[in-house]
A = this chain, B = another copy of it.
Amino acid sequence: MSKLRFQISMSLDGYVAGPNQSEENPLGEGGEQLHEWVIALEAWRKPHGLEGGEANASTEVVERSLENIGATVMGRNMFGGEGPWDEHPWDGWWGDDPPFHTPVFIVTHHAREPVVKQGGTTFNFVTDGIESALEQAREAAAGKDVALAGGASVAQQYLKAGLIDELQLNVVPVLLGAGARLFDDLEGVNAELECTNVLDAPGVTHLSYRVLK
């Protein structure tokens, strides 16, 4: 069966965004440090429509994370906005040619018609929960894997439900001290994992895990 794969950049002290997140500063204070390693890479810039960039030990990791992905699931906060959609709803953070290039299934409480974007990205809004979103994503992926794009809250729900198959943490050597934690609200989860790969790269350490069922 196709796997649910989740990869995220995290500070050494476990934050995926800094404190005081806002619409102007969605990564929170200091949160941009978590993504410097990836923004420098050609392998990331190209699918995001950006020029230039370098290749280093992280290149292979980024390329692998994009391989064999047939659909994407994400939380509403990651798409953008909050609450019920209004008459001319916002189309989210991602612009006209979003970097997903797959059908995307957004877990939300608020129904909305699908939004078709350039480059193969279609945003679908799923109101009956994380399992339904994953099921629809798996069907759309047609045998390929499903990427969980975040954010922290929906990732916690999938982790707690035991639905994530592969977890890759890109650990950035900073302490943010506050912000949004990846591993929060997980009381009772008690999961065991197997470390499948460890790679030190400039400005980041990649830890790959398989979740043991």
Interface residues of A (CB under 8 A from B): 12-14, 19, 30, 159, 169, 171, 173-178, 181-183, 186-195, 197-200, 205, 207, 209
Pick the contact of A173 from B14, B195, B197 — CB < 8 Å?
A: B195
Contact residues in B for A186 (Cβ distance below 8 Å)? 13, 175, 177-178
Give the Cβ gap from A157 to chain B, nearest Cβ, in Å: 13
- The 15 sampled A-B contact pairs (Cβ below 8 Å) are A13-B183, A14-B181, A171-B207, A173-B192, A173-B193, A173-B195, A174-B191, A175-B186, A175-B191, A175-B192, A176-B189, A176-B190, A177-B190, A177-B191, A197-B200
Pair A14/B183 contact, Cβ less than 8 Å: yes
Pair B198/A198 contact, Cβ less than 8 Å: yes
Interchain CA distance A18-B139 in the complex, whole Å = 38
Pick the contact of A193 from B30, B174, B183, B187 — CB < 8 Å?
A: B174
Contact residues in B for A174 (Cβ distance below 8 Å)? 190-193
Known: A175-B189, A178-B187, A183-B175. A207 touches B205 (CB 8 A): yes
Give the Cβ gap from A141 to chain B, nearest Cβ, in Å: 26
> How many chain copies does the complex carry?
2
Contact residues in B for A175 (Cβ distance below 8 Å)? 159, 183, 186, 189-193
Pair B188/A177 contact, Cβ less than 8 Å: yes
* Closest B residue to A207 using CB positions: B205
Closest 9 CB pairs of A and B: A13-B183, A177-B189, A173-B193, A177-B186, A175-B191, A198-B200, A178-B187, A14-B14, A177-B187
* Closest B residue to A203 using CB positions: B195
Interchain CA distance A175-B171 in the complex, whole Å = 16
